[in-house]
Amino acid sequence: MKNKKTKGRIIFILFLCIAIIAIVLIVKSMNGNKNDATTPDDQSQSQGGTSTADNDNGENSNPSQSTQPAGDYATRGESGNKINTSGKMQDTKNLKGLELSNVNLETLGNKTIMLADVKNTTNNTVEEKNIKVDLLSEDQKVIKTLEGTIGPVEAGQMTQLNIEVEGDFVDVYDYRIYE
């Protein structure tokens, strides 16, 4: 009888150990998944700076969103997008009677998007023209040249410049526009 009782106890202890190990593994797995879910955001937020790789990180210019630093001149929005924050990007620029203002530079997906209001300050309609925009570092070195089209714009009227390019070029200090 002792043998049966001993065998029963051993089986019970083995079953109990297996159950405890299984519970520990399940709990550990659940906690590990929670940490893994935040790891990509944490990694991308700590990898700020200028990137010239062809990747797309979308950004939203909604100032009410909470933001995280994403470089010297960019923040990361709630949805992971990057938004340019350089004051120089808000300076009004002129190109032969066309006034660019309200510039918004952000990444969305794998694209950098530049939006700007364009006002015709001349007395004539400005026909469609191809333009280039150099995105500049603080020491005025070209980080990326964008190409776009403006017009036609009637005298005194406004339109919007919209340029998209593959890659993340949001962390820039300034820009210049030319034909």
DSSP 36-76: HHHHHHHHHHHT-S---SS--------TTS--EE-STTEEE
How confident is the model over 157-166, as pLDDT tens digits? 999 999 999 9
The dotted CATH code for 68-178 is: 2.60.40
In this prediction, residue 139 carries a pLDDT of 95
Q: Name the burial class of residue 143, with classes exposed (0-12), middle (13-18) and buried (19+) by CB atoms within 10 angstroms of its CB.
A: middle
**Over the chain, what is the mean pLDDT?**
78
- 173 versus 7: the higher-pLDDT residue is 173
pLDDT in tens, 81-130: 899 999 999 999 999 999 999 999 999 888 999 999 999 999 999 999 99
pTM: 0.60
Ranges of each domain in the chain: 1-46, 68-178
What is the mean pLDDT of the segment spanning 132-140? 95
DSSP 69-81: E-STTEEE-TTS-
Answer yes or no: are the C-beta atoms of 52 and 144 closer than 8 Å.
yes
DSSP state of 125: P
pLDDT in tens, 38-57: 333 333 332 232 223 333 33
Please give the pLDDT value at position 1: 58
Residue 6 — very low, low, confident or very high, per pLDDT cuts 50/70/90? Answer: confident
Cβ within 8 Å of residue 139, ≥6 positions away: none
Task: Tell whether omega for the bond before 40 is within 30 degrees of 0, i.e. cis.
Answer: no
Residue 17 confidence (pLDDT) above 50: yes
When mean pLDDT is compared across 29-38, 46-55, 145-154, 167-176, the lowest value belongs to 46-55
Distance CA 54, CA 40 (A): 19
Per-residue pLDDT, 150? 93
Residues β-bridged to residue 129: 150
What is the rounded distance in angstroms from the CA atom of residue 61 to the CA atom of residue 45? Answer: 17
Q: Are the C-beta atoms of residues 38 and 46 closer than 8 Å to each other?
A: no
Strand partners, 148: 131
